[in-house]
Structure 1
Amino acid sequence: MTILTLGLNHKTAPVDTRERLTFGPDVIVGALRSITEQTPADEALILSTCNRMEVYCALDGSGGDAVLRNWLGEFHGLEPQLFAQHLYHYQDRDAVRHLLKVASGLDSMVLGEPQILGQVKQAFQTANAAGGTGRMLGKLFQHTFSVAKQVRTDTAIGSSPVSVAFAAVSLARQIFSDLSRQTALLIGAGETIELAARHLHQHGIGRIIVANRTVERAHGVAQQFDGYAIALTELSNHLPEADIVVSSTASPLPVLGKGTVERALKKRRHRPVFMVDIAVPRDIEPEVRELRDVYLYTVDDLQGVVDQGMRSRQQAAEQAAEIIDLHTEEFMAWVRSLDAVSLIQDYRSRAQYTRDSLVERAQRQLAAGKPPDEVVCQLAHLLTNKLLHNPSVRLRRAGREGRNELLEAANELFQLKIENDGSR
């Protein structure tokens, strides 16, 4: 049985190509059935996210990548030459290693990001419910989930900040040990603010307020994280509530001045405020840093934290790669054992057939009145000859032909070598 992976990701294909080859939730089940019906694949799973599209298959034999590539084009109504140069394909050991890297966050746009593992689990659940997975992919993906968990547990792959938003929240957690009692005021409604809101929400922030020039956009971010939206003109009214302020707008002028912050501090009775100005040009007047009880960081301040986090994750990635290599070999050993299982079953089946036919012959002899002792001895003699005939013939031939490797294999298989103490 061959394991095959065919796919593309943010490193190999531009976004317009990825968009044309994506599989939405409404078509994945039909696509899985189409793969197993129209290609040699016996099992299939599709992983489709904004940054990658991958098809995992289990099939007899090799060469399925060309068939799968053509299927991919037909399913999406595209000529293969339009996307073939963006595809990668892996087989067996390489396919297993690639999947383990993907699920562990080593192949992500943000090294070590945890969301991909949940997406892989969802892809498996979908394929399993649709009947797309069997013994091979079922074992592979359960093995993958276990390895990804070990990588998260045994390395620091996901603990260090590698984005400005993550760095801001990490610093906030250092200043306020318990975020559940704090209020965060987020100024802006772009991608960075949304990411900061997600990190704060994941770490149990008490309240989130989103302020933006367009209230509708602020509401779109706030509702995702149980927060509420305000207009930018209401900023001074809500600033005294904020223990954490993160600002990232496209305003050409500061949206928070020293005077506004000073008045808010008086209403807060000088309880400390943690402020992060991610905007370029800056949203918060630099003079705010002079105020007592204000911890103000800019994007330049956070960049050092981000760089250190990336170095830490790179070191963790090297440790994770060692874990992945070890468990790749462990899985491939299981795959190889399947061939032995089939061989053992065939060998036992043949031996049992020989035994049953000779027992039936012996029973007829006993029914005819032949002495039991004679029947038993003849049965043992015939069974031994039948079982040993073919191996003996082939071993003699191997000896004549000088095939020492086969003779050595027989020695190991049947434990025929005489040990140093003379026993067998």
Structure 2
Amino acid sequence: MSKIILIGINHKTAPVELREKLSFSDEETLKALEFLKQDEDIKESLIFSTCNRTEVLYVPETGEQIDKIIAFISHHKKVDISEFKNSLYIHKEDDAIRHLFRVASSLDSMVVGEPQILGQIKQAYRVAVESKASGVLLNRLMHKTFSIAKKVRKETGIGDNAVSISYAAIELANKIFSDLSQKSVMLLGAGEMAELAVEHLISNKVKDIVVANRTFKNAVDLAQKFNGQAVKFEEREDALKDVDIIISSTGATDYVLTQNQVKRVMKKRRHHTLFFIDIAVPRDIDPKINTISNAYVYDIDDLKNIVESNIEQRGKETVKAERFIEVAVLKFRKWLESLAVVPTIKALNDKMSSIVEIECKKTLSNLNHFSQEDIEAIKRMTRAIATRTIHDPILFLRNTGDHRDDSLYLNVTRQLFNLDIPEEE
């Protein structure tokens, strides 16, 4: 039976410096999936990369191919294996399934209960489907993942008072400035993280919001939404002289603000405090800016302390969520096992026998004038028809070939004959 394996690093196993080295951009993900698709030892694959984790979920054709996947990460990110091997976690079978369910349900996030993670996993799956890198097993697994994440969010309080990284960033700004109503904020980037940050800033009644983005139209759209002001990305250094807080979440691969740029602007702003919150991976803000007087840089790892204070109060809800996940893992395992040839053939036989018995009973109950001999003859005939009907499908299922994806045919058979017991969502 096919294995499901997950290899990755996250905020618990690796610092931001290492995570950013192993982070896959959208373009890199497409190339990497194409590469894995060409590999005869890898049957299905999906790559999931956010600011807090990079994970490769895959189904090997033979063996486990763990060393091959580690070498693949090293090759694509041009990072020596020795640099990251000790930070990797490797989950197989139920552990891989459980890990994925926990990640999607936001139980493994830096901020337990944060809502963005599910959208990010859905996007990663979309890319895998469009690249034709996922197949029967990962498709089913991902749909079950979305289903359990939805159940956890709906039936537990895990999302109540959830603090996203964006929210934690605003909390931090609040602590430093004590009153944000007189402060101006510049957002670098206009994506989902930036939008969430803006919502939190507005609830804290900040004075002004400036948005800078590489695509000026996106900056204008976000600024209009919140009565802010848009500036071109090239104007970001000049805009520093009029703001107090910078929240950066671009997809850039290099620093978008450097030590020299901030040094130049500090003179113009008479060394008033400038506060940078970098929620991007790879990092946007040069950490050397911390050496400048009255300039403070916080990256995603610095937000952990604020975030962790919420975890305790969600303990009970987490226990409930973990219980839902355990049930979902067991159900998925049952489905995986059903994809073996013997259980599917047995289920097909049982289904046909059941139909024959029910229909025979129904028909014969109205034929009281038949002798016992006639009744037995009719029963034999209906059983023979059923047996002949499924004879060829069973032969086909038994005839497993070396170059055939059995899980695909078994899954189709189970769907065609409706052999799966409907699951409660």
Give the TM-score taking structure 1 as reference length: 0.54
**Number of the residue aligned with 1:127:** 128
Deviation by residue 1:27-51 (Cα, 9 ceiling, x = unmatched): 2222112113235111100001121
Hey, what's the Cα distance between the residues in 2 that align with 1:81 and 1:137?
A: 30
Q: CA deviation at 1:93?
A: 0.2
2:85 matches 1:47: no
The answer to whether the Cα contact below 8 Å between 2:111 and 2:165 also exists between their aligned partners in 1 is no
2:61 matches 1:32: no
- What SS class does the counterpart of residue 107 from structure 1 fall into? coil
Question: How do residues 83-162 of structure 1 correspond to structure 2 at under 5 angstroms?
Answer: 83-162=84-163
The answer to whether the Cα contact below 8 Å between 1:46 and 1:123 also exists between their aligned partners in 2 is yes
The answer to whether the Cα contact below 8 Å between 1:99 and 1:144 also exists between their aligned partners in 2 is yes
**Number of the residue aligned with 1:6:** 7
Question: How do residues 373-384 of structure 1 correspond to structure 2 at under 5 angstroms?
Answer: none
Deviation by residue 1:334-359 (Cα, 9 ceiling, x = unmatched): 101111467628998xxxxxxxxxxx
Hey, what's the Cα distance between the residues in 2 that align with 1:310 and 1:330?
A: 28
- Relative to structure 1, is the Cα distance of residues 21 and 326 closer, same or farther in structure 2, using a 3 angstrom cutoff? same
Q: CA deviation at 1:77?
A: 3.0
Q: CA deviation at 1:185?
A: 7.0
Hey, what's the Cα distance between the residues in 2 that align with 1:67 and 1:306?
A: 36
The answer to whether the Cα contact below 8 Å between 1:197 and 1:225 also exists between their aligned partners in 2 is no
Deviation by residue 1:47-79 (Cα, 9 ceiling, x = unmatched): 011211101111244332122112222233333
**Number of the residue aligned with 1:411:** none
Gaps of 5+ in 1: 171-183, 236-249, 256-280, 282-304, 349-375, 384-424
**Number of the residue aligned with 2:184:** 187
**Number of the residue aligned with 1:75:** 76
**Number of the residue aligned with 2:236:** none
- What SS class does the counterpart of residue 17 from structure 1 fall into? helix
The answer to whether the Cα contact below 8 Å between 1:187 and 1:210 also exists between their aligned partners in 2 is yes
**Number of the residue aligned with 2:208:** 210
**Number of the residue aligned with 1:201:** 199
2:323 aligned partner, one-letter code: E
Q: CA deviation at 1:320?
A: 1.1
The answer to whether the Cα contact below 8 Å between 2:186 and 2:212 also exists between their aligned partners in 1 is no
Q: CA deviation at 1:109?
A: 1.3
Q: CA deviation at 1:149?
A: 0.5
Q: CA deviation at 1:81?
A: 2.1
Q: CA deviation at 1:306?
A: 7.7
Q: CA deviation at 1:189?
A: 3.9
The answer to whether the Cα contact below 8 Å between 1:39 and 1:67 also exists between their aligned partners in 2 is no
Hey, what's the Cα distance between the residues in 1 that align with 2:329 and 2:182?
A: 46
Q: CA deviation at 1:198?
A: 2.2
Q: CA deviation at 1:122?
A: 0.1
Hey, what's the Cα distance between the residues in 1 that align with 2:38 and 2:68?
A: 12
Higher relative contact order (CA 8 A, sep 6+): 2
The answer to whether the Cα contact below 8 Å between 2:48 and 2:55 also exists between their aligned partners in 1 is yes
How many residues were matched structurally? 286
- What SS class does the counterpart of residue 106 from structure 1 fall into? coil
The answer to whether the Cα contact below 8 Å between 1:161 and 1:306 also exists between their aligned partners in 2 is no
Hey, what's the Cα distance between the residues in 2 that align with 1:75 and 1:10?
A: 21
RMSD over aligned Cα atoms: 5.0
2:58 aligned partner, one-letter code: C
The answer to whether the Cα contact below 8 Å between 2:48 and 2:56 also exists between their aligned partners in 1 is yes
- Relative to structure 1, is the Cα distance of residues 345 and 35 closer, same or farther in structure 2, using a 3 angstrom cutoff? farther
**Number of the residue aligned with 2:338:** 337
Q: CA deviation at 1:15?
A: 2.2
- What SS class does the counterpart of residue 26 from structure 1 fall into? helix
- What SS class does the counterpart of residue 27 from structure 2 fall into? coil
Gaps of 5+ in 2: 172-180, 232-238, 244-268, 275-293, 295-305, 350-376, 385-425
The answer to whether the Cα contact below 8 Å between 2:110 and 2:307 also exists between their aligned partners in 1 is no
The answer to whether the Cα contact below 8 Å between 1:6 and 1:56 also exists between their aligned partners in 2 is yes
Hey, what's the Cα distance between the residues in 2 that align with 1:133 and 1:11?
A: 27
1:31 aligned partner, one-letter code: A
Question: How do residues 265-344 of structure 1 correspond to structure 2 at under 5 angstroms?
Answer: 309-340=310-341, 344=345
Hey, what's the Cα distance between the residues in 1 that align with 2:106 and 2:38?
A: 32
- What SS class does the counterpart of residue 24 from structure 2 fall into? coil
Hey, what's the Cα distance between the residues in 1 that align with 2:40 and 2:80?
A: 17
**Number of the residue aligned with 1:15:** 16
- Relative to structure 1, is the Cα distance of residues 40 and 252 closer, same or farther in structure 2, using a 3 angstrom cutoff? same
Q: CA deviation at 1:157?
A: 1.1
- Relative to structure 1, is the Cα distance of residues 333 and 188 closer, same or farther in structure 2, using a 3 angstrom cutoff? same
**Identical aligned pairs, as a percentage?**
32
Question: How do residues 254-269 of structure 1 correspond to structure 2 at under 5 angstroms?
Answer: none
- What SS class does the counterpart of residue 89 from structure 1 fall into? strand
2:21 aligned partner, one-letter code: R
Hey, what's the Cα distance between the residues in 1 that align with 2:170 and 2:13?
A: 32
2:208 aligned partner, one-letter code: V
Choose 1 or 2 for highest CA Rg.
1
Hey, what's the Cα distance between the residues in 1 that align with 2:119 and 2:165?
A: 23
Give the TM-score taking structure 2 as reference length: 0.54
